[in-house]
């Protein structure tokens, strides 16, 4: 459309969205040689577009996000949230602020920045269109200052329009409208604007200074309004969080009652009652919550969320009602002591689970979750070692200490492989990378792991029947296939191999996908069917002791009986 003269007047705004750099970043990361090729390709695209522009067209090139050192985005690191904007016109158009704001020292750390939302009012003014209602951005100064960098009157007018639009948005948003402090700021700003435009002073310098002063006050109002919206929209919905926690806790409680406290024979009898009561209560609670949401219209609880809440409550009540109708609370409490909490390990497991749940109530705990989980797993290992020493049989004691020690060692080894969060900063160094040695270890693991499983299963005579087929053959074959898949991945990504050899990337990708499908199919489908339909892989040695002779004194008969242990 840029080069075809017949289509030249058929468009006002032409938008092109290129996904190549984003996909390349996710696939290979920003430091890979493929990223260099992709950036060169995109540079050629931009150059071709510039060459085809006429004198009345402006080109704007910008990214919607950056990426971290491994190509991901969505976090809060500088590399992820910052991008670049490039605006170009063959006809001289743009102004320039003071040179001090374009500081390229220290890798551009102090270089001028704008918000992405500033593009919205800027594009609106350039196209002569109204600013969208919910826009909170500001005009980009350089676009409207003029070639002589002194058209502050035009920039002040645009800032006045922008502030008015933001105030209109605030007044029509209930959660923003009643902030008197910001409303007073806008009132003062409006008076300042009337004072500025009614100034009949012919001194151009003073007029320019007045417009500059207004621009500063207008930007302050816009900034304060934006921060208010950020703080408001970033708040946690404590009501929804509380409801979610309560429903999750009750659901967990019902799961424990269903699986541990009620006899399995009774569960089979109650299942039809669970279904019928749940379906009936779905209609009851659905009508109640739908009426409540439509009539009362509570803030923060739209109809959709109300119906979802009604569904959750109906399911909980539908399962709980038949249980409470058949069993008493004291009986259920007695069952907890008898069937659920059998020893100290149960308490220990419950404490660890509860502590892990508490992690998500603290931002610091979330950031350092890897360290905390490693500590808890190591604690479990040391407790297991201590418990093993209490065994009376020496063989049991040695096996317990051996297994517990292996668990601790493997836990510590696993913790040395780190993929750090950006919030951990310099206190964590990522070492999860894709190297020749890591690929080689996959083949070693594929050979050794089935042998280790074989050894442990034979201790308890659990390596019988189909176990050799599934572990020694199937598991090892699948692990070798996985190793081959990652080898092909390594070949695709290694810069030395790609620079010196012609790699058929499309063919390798097809092979990798095929291998992945085979592994998933064998694991999920064949493995599940084999596990559910196959016999137990254990050996039972049944011995029949010699018959013992007993005499029935009342009848004088002699009976032979045998006991099978």
Residues 509-548: tens digit of each pLDDT:
899 999 999 999 988 888 888 877 877 788 777 777 765 5
Alpha-carbon separation of residue 545 from 550, 561, 564 (angstroms):
15, 10, 7
- In angstroms, the CA 444 to CA 338 distance is 46
Q: Residue 211 CB: number of other CB atoms within 10 A?
A: 22
- Looking at residue 432, the DSSP 8-state letter turns out to be -
Report the C-alpha gap between 522 and 510 in whole angstroms: 18
What DSSP assignment string belongs to 376-410?
Answer: HHHHHHHHHHHHHTT-SSHHHHHHHHHHHHHHHHH
- Pick from 478, 476, 496, 520: which is nearest to 435 by CA? 496
Phi-psi domain of 264 (left: phi exceeds 0; alpha: psi -120 through 50; beta: other) = alpha
- C-beta separation of 491 from 497 below 8 A: yes
The yes-or-no verdict on residue 562 having pLDDT over 50 is: no
The predicted model gives 236-241 an average pLDDT of 77
pLDDT at 563 over 70: no
Measured distance CA(18)–CA(24) in Å, rounded: 11
Which two three-digit tokens encode residue 278? 């749940």
257-311 per-position pLDDT tens digit: 887 788 877 888 888 898 999 999 999 999 999 999 888 888 777 888 889 999 9
Nearest residue to 288 via CA among 317, 257, 256: 317
Cα separation of 112 and 126, whole Å?
A: 21
With a threshold of 0.75, does the pTM exceed it?
A: no
When pLDDT is cut at 50, 70 and 90, the band that residue 6 belongs to is low
If you average pLDDT over residues 172-193, what whole number do you get?
Answer: 91
Cβ pair 215, 152 in contact under 8 A: yes
For the chain, give the percent of residues with pLDDT over 70: 93
**What mean pLDDT, rounded, does the chain reach?**
85
């Amino acid at each position: 459309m840029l080069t075809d003269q017949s289509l030249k007047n058929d468009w006002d705004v032409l938008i092109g969205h290129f996904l190549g750099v984003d996909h390349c970043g996710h696939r290979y990361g920003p430091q890979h040689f493929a990223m260099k090729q992709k950036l060169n390709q995109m540079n050629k695209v931009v150059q071709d577009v510039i060459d085809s522009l006429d004198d009345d067209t402006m080109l704007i090139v910008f990214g919607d996000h950056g990426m971290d050192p491994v190509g991901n985005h969505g976090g809060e690191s500088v590399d992820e949230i910052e991008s670049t904007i490039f605006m170009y016109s063959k006809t001289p158009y743009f102004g320039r602020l003071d040179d001090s704001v374009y500081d390229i020292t220290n890798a551009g750390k102090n270089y001028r920045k704008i918000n992405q939302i500033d593009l919205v009012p800027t594009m609106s003014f350039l196209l002569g269109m109204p600013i969208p209602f919910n826009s909170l951005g500001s005009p980009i100064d350089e676009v409207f200052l003029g070639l002589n960098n002194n058209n502050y009157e035009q920039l002040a007018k645009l800032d006045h329009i922008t502030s008015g639009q933001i105030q209109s948005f605030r007044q029509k948003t209930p959660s923003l409208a009643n902030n008197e402090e910001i409303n007073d700021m806008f009132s003062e700003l409006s008076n300042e604007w009337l004072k500025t435009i009614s100034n009949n002073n012919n001194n151009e310098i003073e007029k320019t200074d007045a417009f500059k002063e207004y621009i500063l006050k207008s930007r302050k109002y816009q900034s304060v309004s934006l921060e208010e919206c950020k703080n408001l929209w970033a708040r946690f919905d404590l009501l929804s969080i509380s409801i979610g926690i309560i429903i999750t806790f009750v659901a967990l409680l019902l799961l424990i009652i269903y699986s541990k406290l009620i006899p399995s024979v009774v569960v089979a009898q109650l299942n039809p009652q669970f279904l019928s009561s749940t379906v009936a209560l779905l209609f009851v609670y659905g009508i109640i919550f739908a009426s409540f949401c439509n009539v009362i219209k509570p803030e923060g609880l739209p109809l959709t969320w109300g119906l979802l809440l009604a569904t959750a409550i109906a399911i909980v009540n539908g399962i709980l009602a038949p249980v409470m109708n058949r069993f008493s609370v004291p009986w259920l409490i007695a069952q907890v002591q008898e069937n659920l909490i059998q020893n100290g390990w149960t308490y220990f497991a419950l404490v660890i689970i509860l502590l892990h749940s508490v992690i998500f109530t603290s931002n610091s705990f979330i950031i350092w979750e890897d360290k905390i989980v490693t500590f808890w797993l190591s604690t479990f290992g040391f407790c297991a070692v201590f418990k093993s020493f209490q065994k009376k049989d020496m063989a049991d004691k040695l096996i317990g200490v051996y297994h517990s020690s292996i668990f601790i060692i493997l836990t510590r080894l696993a913790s040395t492989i780190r993929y750090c969060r950006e919030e951990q900063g310099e206190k964590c160094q990522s070492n999860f990378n894709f190297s020749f040695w890591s690929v080689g270890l996959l083949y070693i693991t594929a050979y050794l792991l089935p042998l280790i499983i074989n050894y442990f299963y034979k201790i308890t005579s659990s390596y019988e029947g189909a176990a050799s087929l599934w572990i020694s053959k199937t598991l090892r074959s699948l692990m070798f296939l996985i190793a081959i898949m990652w080898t092909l991945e390594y070949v695709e990504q290694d810069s030395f191999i790609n620079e010196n050899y012609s790699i058929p990337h499309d063919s390798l990708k097809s092979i990798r996908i095929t291998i992945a499908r085979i592994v998933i199919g064998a694991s999920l489908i064949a493995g599940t069917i084999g596990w559910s339909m196959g016999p137990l892989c254990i050996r039972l040695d049944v011995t029949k002791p010699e018959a013992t002779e007993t005499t029935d004194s009342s009848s004088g008969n002699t009976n032979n009986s045998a006991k099978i242990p």
